[in-house]
Amino acid sequence: MSREAFVNAAILLALLAVPLWALANDEPFTITLATRAAILALAGVGLNVALGLGGLVSLGHAVFFGIGGYAMGVLASHAQSYDPIMEAPFLIEGTKSMPIIWIAALVTSAIAALGIGALSLRTSGVYFIMITLAFGQMAYYFAIGWPAYGGEDGLSIYVRNGFPGLNTLDPIQFFAIAYTLLLLALLLVWRLSKSPFGLALNAARQSAARVETAGIRPYTLRLTAFVISGALTGLAGALFADLNRFVSPSMLSWQTSGEIMVFIILGGVGRLCAPVAGAGMFVLLEHWLGGTGEFWHIWLGAILLFVVLFARGGLIGALAGRGRTDG
Amino acid sequence: MTPRTFILAAAMAALPSLALADAHAGKVKVGMITTLSGGGAGLGIDVRDGFLLANKESGDRLDVVVEDDQRKPDIAVQLADKMIQSEKVDVMTGIIFSNLAMAVVPAAVAQGKFYLSPNAGPSALAGKGCHEDYFNVAWQNDNLHEAAGAYANKAGYRKSFILAPNYPAGKDALTGYKREFAGDVEGEVFTKLGQKDYAAEIAQIRASKADSVFFFLPGGMGISFLKQYADSGVDIPVIGPAFSFDQSILQAVGEAALGVRNTSQWNKDLDNAANAAFVEAFQAEYDRLPSLYASQGYDTARLLISAMDAADVGDRDAFRAALEAAKFDSVRGDFAFGPNHHPVQNIYVREVVKEGDVFTNKLIDVVLKDHADVYAADCKM
Amino acid sequence: MPTALLVEQLLNGLQAGMTLFLMAAGLTLVFGVMGLINLAHGSLYMVGAFAAAAVAAATGSFLLALAAALAAGAIAGVVVEMVVIRRLYDRDHLDQVLATFALILIFSEGTRWVFGSFPLQLDIPAWLAGPITLPGGIPYPLYRLTIIGIGLAVAIALWLLIERTRTGIRIRAGENDREMISALGVDISRLYTLVFALGAALAGLAGALVGAIQSVQVGMGEPVLILAFVVIVIGGIGSIRGALIGALLVGMTDTMGRILLPSLLATITDASMAASVGASLASMSVYILMAVVLVWRPSGLFGAAT
């Protein structure tokens, strides 16, 4: 077992141990915090497919996070009011079942990622960062002005959606769902990075020309990565909305895109478990620094700056030593 | 009176109520979630300061936990979970913005907490979504806009140009104005949320045949609009709700706001003893004039303390009845709750004036007497 | 629409464009020469506005306030460049985005710490206040005309600087070949500090100019920053000419979209609905413009192909 694999296992075990400890000590809020960290980590794992594997710096992943959130909000609100979403040409009814909501979130955000990716990937570098930001802003303003689902007020879902056989209102059971999905996503990304597709994607990140001479279009590789990335982030969005029992356009704001990216940086770019370490650290900082007074954003900024300038490997880099050398 | 001697005097005055506090042993634990950082921080700081002032005057009978929601709904929800699950508060309050209130309030009252709103009053929580444990101590969102419409009738305006940001509160504002306004709407414009340049809209106003302009543009949007409107030379009178003419932002608008009429349920020169004491104490404590938001925070704490005198928070039905009775001296004079636990109160029109170097508001007239909201009919508790 | 109103709206679009150009010029210069994405450019705009408001309150002079904004922008620029930015030149875009995102947090809350949470006063000076009547009987605010004038002056000055001076030659050389220019004995790190300070000073100036007709408050920089990025991406990153054209395009699209879309929709649906849907479309219009331009020309209108 390499040192990084050891660190990864330790991080994942820590994320599991905290809520179990909280359960034993009757601290339900700590479980909620751990759930939040797991869900944000899942969003980061999604972005990491585009950013870490594909080298695609997307500043618009809040779109997929928000679409996932709204997939949950729209389906659950229609189920709540017994009012079908559409009747013609065929009937679509709302639902309060998590698995169906997850599928809807995955599919809708994948479709959005296909559309946005197909256009955005014609550009590269800064232009790519900015065009993804532009799509994010479009979605944000659309959601604010769109009256059907609450506009800026968002949608409240009074009771968390259900999962067969589980009581999702119990914090520890909902944590278990989020944690399991996070592990599955990590497994998928790990397998992906070792697959021929992942290797080709990695090669395209380092030298597009080299891949092209091998007869593979980098555009297709990147688009595939972008769609997988968007879909995973969308799934996280659906869970996040379920955690808060609420969805609103703030999930689509450019700050959200920035924060998802921050998780990866805090954890360490190019590491499998970076989003987990980063999201955990972010939730902790938010929780601790938020108690230090009105101006705690200064400290958050200072820490972030320090990590970017002086600790490029992030948390995992500091713990596991140098990772891949090409990053 | 120097601040120090004043605090001493206030402490002396508080002695009798201290003795009373001992009679009702045990404090009420209050969780306050409000906006203390980022762009909307000024409003939350005023609500908090007003609330804490009232608590201090009562001899700290409330045990208050204050948290910053950063104006983000998901943070607000998380803080609410924390206050309910680990702080085990009895009462929650503090939220400034309607979209955050919609995220937090339904879940909080569903989990058996009282919620007292010191600012936001979305229509969904006043009508079908009302709840016996949710009390609004400020206003229903439409109230001040309805008053603006009523004032426009009084002032003899026949044709209004109306504008607001393109989001739910903006749409409610225009609906509220049109509900009372008897004249015609000459033009209706929704601006981008957060927009700071209104040159194009002002040109449209100039070209229209309106005899009055109603606008709802809270915060920096209103500052920008008023400055640009004054500079454009268009002389059609403007009216708006108090939010763009509040003490906290008037200094930034400056001369451009002078003489503008605006509607509010409170002003610092409202003639009652509670208000005079509040305005003086607030200035002594914080060295600035209190704003509308500070008055709402102050009233919220005083309502809560009045209920503690009458009932124990553990006895939910008795405590709810004590809140409903609203037996406290509100800084806005007469105050009562309607059947949906939203205020029934007078709404006034004020004018922006300059006192020395400071821009502030002067009370002109009552526009709506004992005004309640239209959503109460939909509320089934 | 009557002609007078149309002319007035076109002027409004022009003025919005010129304001954006002041922001975008610095941003595109910094990117062109140093290859740096600076999200904190909006913070420098805010610093300029706050410095102007503080000096105007203390002295009552608008010209001194503008000078203070230029100076504060430049000084903040130099400090930030020397402490943080110069460590980012040879980093990838991701690091630059995040480090400057962190700077936004520090600047915003730091400003709130110093100046408090309430907006500051900054007024148009009496000698620039009020409207004047243009040929054709169109009343238009003198201050907005002044902004258009300053924008044009800055555009010309920048063109002269880059095309006609020694410093300009070095800047252009720096865009093309960094190793070459330092081999020629030019102190590259001083040149970089200078360029960054110049961009920061322009942002500070824009903040003060705009602050006088908008609101001077924490967080005022971010919305403008995003629009400025839209501008330089449309124009082609690194190109001053592109920034000017891009700024005018964005200013016009935004202004005309806000007026035309609701009235266009009003012909097919009722007024309230048209106002609301039109406004939604209008707030997306500049982003749609940007996406269309990039899909058509992936390196912007005047950008070098990558």
Main-chain dihedrals φ then ψ at residue B231, nearest 5 degrees: -75, -20
Question: Structural domains in chain B?
Answer: 3-139+269-337 (3.40.50.2300), 143-264+347-378 (3.40.50.2300)
> What is the rounded average pLDDT for all residues in chain B?
89
Residue C81 has pLDDT above 70, yes or no: yes
Kindly indicate the confidence band of residue B11, based on its pLDDT and cuts at 50, 70 and 90.
very low
Q: Do C287 and A135 touch (CB under 8 A)?
A: yes
For residue C112, the one-letter residue type is R
Q: How far apart are the CA of B323 and the nearest CA of chain A, in angstroms? A: 25
Residue A294 has pLDDT above 70, yes or no: no
| B120 part of contact set with chain C, CB < 8 Å | no
Q: How far apart are the CA of B36 and the nearest CA of chain A, in angstroms? A: 6
Touching A: which chains, 3+ CB pairs < 8 A? B, C
Kindly indicate the confidence band of residue B16, based on its pLDDT and cuts at 50, 70 and 90.
very low
Q: Do A119 and C295 touch (CB under 8 A)?
A: yes
User: Of A246, A148, A252, which Cα lies nearest the Cα of B99?
Assistant: A246
User: Of A175, A245, A244, A236, which Cα lies nearest the Cα of A18?
Assistant: A175
- Percent over 90 (pLDDT), chain B: 71
Mean pLDDT of A285-292: 77
Residues of C in contact with A308 (CB under 8 A): 95, 98-99, 102
B and C: number of Cβ contacts within 8 A: 130
> What is the rounded average pLDDT for all residues in chain A?
89
pLDDT of residue C149: 96
> Does the reported pTM lie above 0.80?
yes
Find all residues with CB under 8 Å of C294, minimum gap 6, and list them: A119, A120, A122, A123, A127, A130, A131, C233, C234, C300
Residues of C in contact with A254 (CB under 8 A): 226
Q: Which domain holds residue A83?
A: 3-320
* C298 is a domain residue: no
If one compares C33 and B339, the residue with the highest pLDDT of the two is: B339
What is the Cα–Cα distance from B318 to B312, expressed in whole angstroms?
A: 7
- Percent over 90 (pLDDT), chain C: 51
For residue B357, the one-letter residue type is D
pLDDT of residue B73: 87
Mean pLDDT of B171-189: 93
| B259 part of contact set with chain C, CB < 8 Å | no
Q: Which domain holds residue C16?
A: 7-218
Residues of C in contact with A295 (CB under 8 A): 109-110, 112-113
Residue A54 has pLDDT above 60, yes or no: yes
For residue A161, the one-letter residue type is N
| Closest by Cβ to A145, choosing from C279, C291, C303 | C279
Structure tokens at C139: 């009343």
If one compares A208 and A228, the residue with the highest pLDDT of the two is: A228
| A145 part of contact set with chain B, CB < 8 Å | yes
* A141 is a domain residue: yes
Taking only the tens place, the pLDDT of each residue in B190-220 is 998 889 999 999 999 999 999 999 999 988 8
* C142 is a domain residue: yes
Mean pLDDT of C134-154: 92
Mean pLDDT of A208-224: 87
Query: If residue C72 lies in a helix (H) or strand (E), which one and from where to where?
Result: helix C62-83
Residues of B in contact with A240 (CB under 8 A): 74
The mean-pLDDT minimum among A163-172, B298-307, B326-335, C171-180 falls in C171-180
Taking only the tens place, the pLDDT of each residue in A244-273 is 888 989 999 988 998 999 899 888 888 899
* A327 is a domain residue: no
If one compares B113 and A160, the residue with the highest pLDDT of the two is: B113
A89 cis-preceded (ω within 30 degrees of 0): yes
A and C: number of Cβ contacts within 8 A: 131
* C300 is a domain residue: no
What is the Cα–Cα distance from B155 to B166, expressed in whole angstroms?
A: 28
* A326 is a domain residue: no
**What is the ipTM metric for this complex?**
0.87
Taking only the tens place, the pLDDT of each residue in C10-65 is 999 999 999 999 999 999 988 888 888 899 999 999 999 999 999 999 999 999 99
Angle in degrees, CA B177, B178, B179, rounded to 5: 90
| C125 part of contact set with chain A, CB < 8 Å | no
* C92 is a domain residue: yes
Main-chain dihedrals φ then ψ at residue B115, nearest 5 degrees: -125, 125
* C230 is a domain residue: no
* A295 is a domain residue: yes
Total number of domains in chain C: 1
* C128 is a domain residue: yes
Residues of B in contact with C123 (CB under 8 A): 227, 254-256
* C258 is a domain residue: no
| B204 part of contact set with chain C, CB < 8 Å | yes
What is the Cα–Cα distance from B160 to B189, expressed in whole angstroms?
A: 11
Q: Do A153 and B99 touch (CB under 8 A)?
A: yes
pLDDT of residue B3: 43
If one compares A315 and A243, the residue with the highest pLDDT of the two is: A243
pLDDT of residue C31: 86
Residue B85 has pLDDT above 90, yes or no: no
Q: Judged by CB atoms within 8 Å, which residues 29-88 of C form the interface with B?
A: none
Among chain B residues, the shortest Cα distance to C256 is held by B200
* A325 is a domain residue: no
What is the Cα–Cα distance from C45 to C43, expressed in whole angstroms?
A: 5
Mean pLDDT of C252-269: 88
Q: Do A290 and B67 touch (CB under 8 A)?
A: yes
| A151 part of contact set with chain B, CB < 8 Å | yes
| A131 part of contact set with chain C, CB < 8 Å | yes
* A312 is a domain residue: yes
Residues of B in contact with A154 (CB under 8 A): 73, 99, 102-103
> What is the rounded average pLDDT for all residues in chain C?
89
Mean pLDDT of C272-280: 83
pLDDT of residue B219: 82
Angle in degrees, CA B107, B108, B112, rounded to 5: 115
Residues of B in contact with A144 (CB under 8 A): 166-167, 193
CATH at residue A50: 1.10.3470
pLDDT of residue A292: 67
